[in-house]
Amino acid sequence: MAVKKLGAQTVKFQNPPSIIATATVVGPVEGKGPLRNYFDLILGDFKFQEKSWEKAEKKMLKEAVEMAVKKSGVPSDKIEYFIAGDLLNQIISASFAARELGYPFLGIYGACSTVAEGLGIGAMLVDGGYADNIVVGTSSHFCSAERQYRFPLELGNQRPPTAQRTVTGAGAAVISTKNQNPRITYVTTGKVIDMGAVDPNDMGSAMAPAAVDTIVMHLEDSKRTPEDYDLIVTGDLASVGKDIAQKLMLQKGIDVSNKYTDCGLLIYSPEQDVHAGGSGCACAAVVTFGYIFNEMQKGRYNKILIVATGALMNSTIVQQGETIPCIAHAVALENL
Amino acid sequence: MAKITQDQKDYQELVKNSKPKPPYLKNLVMAFLVGGLICVIGQLILNFYISLGLESTKEAPSATSATLVFLGAFLTGLGVYDKIGKRAGAGSIVPITGFANSIVAPAMEFKSEGYVFGVAAKMFVVAGPVLVYGIASSALIGLIYYVVKF
């Protein structure tokens, strides 16, 4: 019998695994944003001494993982799994980083929700008794994402106000059985929700229903209310998606207005000309592992629900006229 | 394609009403000003070539086009054209300088995959459709003109 399962989609950990260390690397634009003091390494340019943006992205992820492992104090040979994913075709940033890191590797894909998927799987492995130390990571890069999903960088086109900027960065965290705060207490795995969005320049409103569905399921399964959390943070809905998510939640009688924010809004300031806000795997990852992890360690926040969101599509299937399926996974982080 | 349900329709209606609209008036004015400016520069170049003694119906216009294509490509290489395009929109996409931009931008971008499968193969990834339908429609119009004339 699944003793740790609650309701339809949620897991409650018996011995909540700890996040014992995190590390973040960000690009130059994020390094000028309001959270700049929370990041471990800020790059001066987009190439990170590499020949291509893809190689730079892989290097950022590798760097973040190495830093997190080093900070954790866990010897490298005691890392039992490396769980990672990214946006590039065949998750090459993750697997090429794994090639160099040499840890047993589980590649995952959840688009921009990857960080929550990784934390969820990692925590389940740790609380399940399958490992004592796991490292979870993800990355994205503005330039490599633009060329894969949209247009060449130097093309002189105009973007609509709903467009978002892919965060350049990588984040990694070490999950462990060690007795330390913050901990992962609950994980709610999301369903794929498709509300008929077709505009690849408006991911926020495409993903908002998935975020709302997962939040509603989490509260229902765990018998919690928004009052139980200091903060509910979605991944990368940005300004357009966040407003819609709030509206949808109000329709369901859930009022989160005073404690709800979004990583896509936190990472940039409005003057940074990023349209609706940030997106990409690194968006939720660097905000969670940089800002939120640090503030939880300081005790400013004690209970946070991270709801990372992802749009599960590529440009081929959108050109074939398909609507955009989306997903969101929720992870509850708590100081116990 | 999956069938659109009523729920999806209702949601898309909600999205339509919540989305910020692009600043159409500002975009129109900027496109008009920048597009107009590029044409004025073109006219000045044309006048300059004519004053140098180039023939005014064939030689000078060809030299003008070549100069504008060079300028578009040059500004793309300097990383300036995308900044103009961000403000000007169609004002800098429609003139011949925008056409140069649409070829040079992917050529630069895909250099990391090599000169054959990168630069050469991807060079027309944006301009390709314009060339295909531009050339096809001009051939069609030419044919119609030929038939109507007789």
Residue A207 pLDDT more than 90?
yes
Nearest to A321 among B1, B18, B105 (CB): B1
* Residue A206 and residue A323 in one domain: yes
Is A7 inside a domain boundary? no
**What integer is the mean pLDDT of A155-182?**
95
Report d(CA B86, CA B98) in Å as an integer.
12
Q: Report which of A200, A168, A198, A165 is spatially closest to residue A275, judged by C-alpha positions.
A: A165
Cα B51 to its chain centre, rounded Å, is: 29
Q: Is A47 on the interface with B (CB under 8 A)?
A: no
Shortest Cα distance, chain A CAs vs residue B148, angstroms: 39
How many beta carbons lie within 10 A of that of residue A196, not counting itself?
18
Judge whether A146 and A295 are in contact, CB under 8 Å: no
Residue A132 pLDDT more than 90?
yes
Is B58 inside a domain boundary? yes
Give which of B4, B5, B11 to mutate to test A binding, by max A Cβ within 10 Å: B11
Domain boundary, last residue among A176, A208, A225: A176
Report residues of chain B scoring pLDDT below 70: 1-2
List the CATH number of the domain containing A106. Answer: 3.40.47.40
Please, what is the average pLDDT of chain A? 96
Is A261 inside a domain boundary? yes
Number of domains present in the structure of chain B: 1
Is A249 inside a domain boundary? yes
Coil/strand/helix, residue B18 = helix
Q: Is A162 on the interface with B (CB under 8 A)?
A: yes
Structure tokens at A105: 């590797």
Domain that includes residue B118, residue range: 23-149
Domain boundary, last residue among A176, A197, A214: A176
Q: A55 to chain B: nearest residue by CA?
A: B112
Q: Residue A301: pLDDT band by 50, 70, 90 thresholds? A: very high
Is B99 inside a domain boundary? yes
- Tell me the per-residue pLDDT of B55-84, one tens digit each, with 9 for 90 and over: 989 999 999 999 999 999 999 999 999 999
Report d(CA A86, CA A265) in Å as an integer.
21
Report d(CA A296, CA A302) in Å as an integer.
6
- Tell me the per-residue pLDDT of B111-123, one tens digit each, with 9 for 90 and over: 999 999 999 999 9
* Residue A167 and residue A207 in one domain: no
**What integer is the mean pLDDT of A79-88?**
98
Contact residues, chain B, for A244 at CB < 8 Å: 14-15, 18
Report d(CA A204, CA B26) in Å as an integer.
24
Residue A74 pLDDT more than 90?
yes
Q: Report which of A77, A59, A60, A45 is spatially closest to residue A289, judged by C-alpha positions.
A: A60
Is A262 inside a domain boundary? yes
Judge whether A138 and A308 are in contact, CB under 8 Å: no
* Residue A105 and residue A39 in one domain: yes
* Residue A83 and residue A190 in one domain: no
- Tell me the per-residue pLDDT of A190-205, one tens digit each, with 9 for 90 and over: 999 999 999 989 999 9
* Residue A263 and residue A150 in one domain: no
Give which of B15, B17, B87 to mutate to test A binding, by max A Cβ within 10 Å: B15
Q: What is the SS3 assignment for chain A?
A: CCCCEECCCEEECCCCCEEEEEEEEECCCHHHCCCHHHCCEECCCCCCCCCCHHHHHHHHHHHHHHHHHHHHCCCHHHCCEEEEEECCHHHHHHHHHHHHHCCCEEECCCHHHHHHHHHHHHHHHHHCCCCCEEEEEEEECHHHHHHHHCCCCCCCCCCCCCCCEECCEEEEEEEECCCCCCEEEEEECCCCECCCCCCCCCHHHHHHHHHHHHHHHHHHHHCCCHHHCCEEEECCCHHHHHHHHHHHHHHCCCCCHHHEEEHHHHCCCHHHCCCCCEECHHHHHHHHHHHHHHHHHHCCCCEEEEEEEEECCCHHHHHCCCCCCEEEEEEEEECC
Nearest to B86 among A151, A158, A162 (CB): A158
* Residue A205 and residue A125 in one domain: no
* Residue A257 and residue A305 in one domain: yes
Contact residues, chain A, for B81 at CB < 8 Å: 154, 156
Is B47 inside a domain boundary? yes
pLDDT, position B2:
59
Domain that includes residue A228, residue range: 183-334
Is B34 inside a domain boundary? yes
Report d(CA A65, CA A21) in Å as an integer.
10
- Tell me the per-residue pLDDT of A51-70, one tens digit each, with 9 for 90 and over: 999 999 999 999 999 999 99
* Residue A32 and residue A169 in one domain: yes
Judge whether A80 and A105 are in contact, CB under 8 Å: no
Is A78 inside a domain boundary? yes
Coil/strand/helix, residue B114 = coil
* Residue A196 and residue A160 in one domain: no
* Residue A274 and residue A324 in one domain: yes
* Residue A188 and residue A289 in one domain: yes
Place of tokens 């496109």: B31
Characterize A211-232 residue by residue with b for buried, 16 or more Cβ atoms within 10 angstroms of its Cβ, and e for exposed.
bbbbbbbbbebbebebeebbbb
Domain boundary, last residue among A132, A147, A176: A176
Shortest Cα distance, chain A CAs vs residue B145, angstroms: 35
Q: Is A77 on the interface with B (CB under 8 A)?
A: no
Is B6 inside a domain boundary? no
Report d(CA B99, CA B101) in Å as an integer.
5
Shortest Cα distance, chain A CAs vs residue B53, angstroms: 35
pLDDT, position A84:
98
CA distances from A214 to A188, A281, A326, B9 (A): 7, 18, 11, 21
Q: B86 to chain A: nearest residue by CA?
A: A158
* Residue A216 and residue A138 in one domain: no
- CB-based burial of residue A116 (10 Å sphere; 0-12 exposed, 13-18 middle, 19+ buried)? buried
How many beta carbons lie within 10 A of that of residue B118, not counting itself?
17
Is B13 inside a domain boundary? no
Q: Residue A265: pLDDT band by 50, 70, 90 thresholds? A: very high
How many contacts (CB atoms, under 8 Å) link A and B?
A: 104
Coil/strand/helix, residue B2 = coil
Q: Is A159 on the interface with B (CB under 8 A)?
A: yes
Residue A1 pLDDT more than 90?
no
Residue A311 pLDDT more than 60?
yes
Is A4 inside a domain boundary? no
Is A1 inside a domain boundary? no
- Residue partners of A102: CB distance under 8 A and separation at least 6: none
Q: Strand A10-12 and strand A183-188: pairing? A: antiparallel
Nearest to A151 among B81, B89, B126 (CB): B126
Number of domains present in the structure of chain A: 2
- Tell me the per-residue pLDDT of A98-124, one tens digit each, with 9 for 90 and over: 999 999 999 999 999 999 999 999 999
Residue A278 pLDDT more than 90?
yes
